[in-house]
Amino acid sequence: MISNRTFTMIKPDAVEKGYTGAILNKINASGFRIVSMKMTQLSRRDAELFYAIHKDRPFFGDLVAFMSRGPIVAAVLEKDNAVNDFRTLIGSTNPEEAAVGTIRKLYASSVGENAVHGSDSDENAVIESQFHFSGREMF
Ligand code: IDP
Ligand code: MG
């Protein structure tokens, strides 16, 4: 995996509300190529593992319940400066603080249910992509 890739999930809140297509359009229109993509659902154990870095935070239980309550869309994305540019495209964790036009400003409802995930580093992009996809699923 090279550093022009990032990993995203369209979270259960956004899938439930029918925002999947609009979010994917915005991702493509912003210059990201979809390398891998699937609709799937995290088990509680999957969510605990994916978000293990947050296990001591007060919101961890809510986060695990939220992320495992329904389907998500997981994808690997490619673009120059993918990690940073995707974090800019999604906006701040709290949608009330997210810039106008960002995915979270448009589609998130709260700091917890915030529509999309984006990797925070090249290293985590690799770890998170490999959590969901094998090498032969990356195009
Ligand atoms: P990020 O998704 O913008 O990188 P992180 O701080 O890594 O934000 O938190 C991971 C996820 O945990 C957030 O996207 C959100 O779903 C949830 N979360 C973060 N902070 C809070 C909080 O203060 N209350 C409830 N949920 C939170
Ligand atoms: Mg994060």
Domain ranges of the chain: 5-42+70-134
Q: What is the DSSP track for the chain? A: --TTEEEEEE-HHHHHTT-HHHHHHHHHHTTPEEEEEEEE---HHHHHHHTGGGTTSTTHHHHHHHHTSS-EEEEEEE-TTHHHHHHHHH--SSGGGSPTTSHHHHH--SSSS-SEEE-SSHHHHHHHHHHH--GGG--
**Nearest protein CA to atom 14 of ligand 1, as residue:** 93
pLDDT of residue 2: 52
* pLDDT for residue 131: 97
State the pTM of this model. 0.97
* Cα 104 from Cα 115, distance rounded (Å): 6
What pLDDT is recorded for position 1?
47
CATH architecture assignment, domain 5-42+70-134:
2-Layer Sandwich (3.30)
Catalytic residue check, 117: yes
Please give the radius of gyration of the chain, using alpha carbons only, rounded to the nearest integer.
14
Q: In a structure prediction context, what are the per-residue pLDDT tens digits for the chain, which is 139 residues long?
A: 457 999 999 999 999 999 999 999 999 999 999 999 999 999 999 999 999 999 999 999 999 999 999 999 999 999 999 999 999 999 999 999 999 999 999 999 999 999 999 999 999 999 999 999 999 999 9
pLDDT for 64? 98
pLDDT of the residue at 21: 98
Query: For position 3, what pLDDT does the model report?
Result: 73
Q: How far is the CA of 118 from the centre of ligand 2 (A)?
A: 7
Say how many Å lie between the CA of residue 67 and the centre of ligand 1. Answer: 11
* Count of Cβ atoms closer than 10 Å to residue 117 Cβ: 20
Shortest-distance atom of ligand 1 to CA 117:
2
Distance from Cα 116 to the centre of ligand 2, integer Å: 10
Confidence at residue 53, expressed as pLDDT on a 0 to 100 scale: 97
